[in-house]
Amino acid sequence: MMLGVDSGGEQGVWPRPWLIGLTGGIAAGKSTVAALLRELGVPVIDADALAREVVAPGTAALAQIVAAFGTEVVDAEGVLDRAVMARRVFGDPALRRRLEAIVQPAIAVAAQRAIAVLARGGARRIVYDAALLVETGRHRELDLLIVVVAEDTRRLRRLMRRDGLDRAGARGRLDAQWPQQQKVALADFVVENSGSRAATRRQVRALWRAVAQATASPPH
């Protein structure tokens, strides 16, 4: 497992934590579910936060990005301009793959470190929150997968409000992603996030009870 850890397998010690993926399409509400899991005391690693960390000024990944895409993708302070980068790669699969080839390995290393720290602290279950788990194939490195879904009309409204997009722009973002059902087909658990936060909270609590039951023994 690229994202896995091993505590050494000593007798009486949990060999390694269960690694549980959390993903969902854009504006489905994955971040909401991650926040609700944290409310329950679940350790959640945020891949987007790691992505920001690995391209901070002075990192090898940022140097590779600048070499590949030019100095216009960083601002006057030498910080990666994510909005400019998104515009460069959106709608261009070749450029997106080029960027992912730089960033994803660095994120995987950072994730390994974060998982190891939590495992040494005794965590038995760790949620890895990432938007592109399925698209990159990283879901295969994890033990279980949670997929967050929502009605497309709600996702469209959320995306327009969140990112200041018009309907055509938001629709283009949705259409550029994998259909939700492709991810659902791979999921062990699904959260339907079209309703209120209270309704989603109830689902998450029930889901985590089911996860705890499913992971009562150490993973193989």
Phi and psi for 128 in degrees, rounded to 5? -110, 110
What mean pLDDT comes out for the span 209-214? Answer: 97
Each residue of 104-139: pLDDT tens digit?
899 999 999 999 999 999 999 999 999 989 988 989
The reply to whether the predicted model has a pTM over 0.85 is: yes
User: Is the dihedral angle over the CA atoms 55, 56, 59, 64 positive or is it negative?
Assistant: positive
pLDDT > 90 fraction of the chain, expressed in percent and rounded: 76
Question: In the chain, what are the helix, strand and coil shares in percent, each to the nearest 5?
Answer: 50, 10, 35
Residue 175 has pLDDT above 90, yes or no: no
Asked if CATH classification 3.40.50.970 holds for the domain at 18-212, the reply, yes or no, is no
Buried b (16+ CB within 10 A) or exposed e, 161-197: eeeeeeeeebeebbeebeebeebeeebbbbbbbeeee
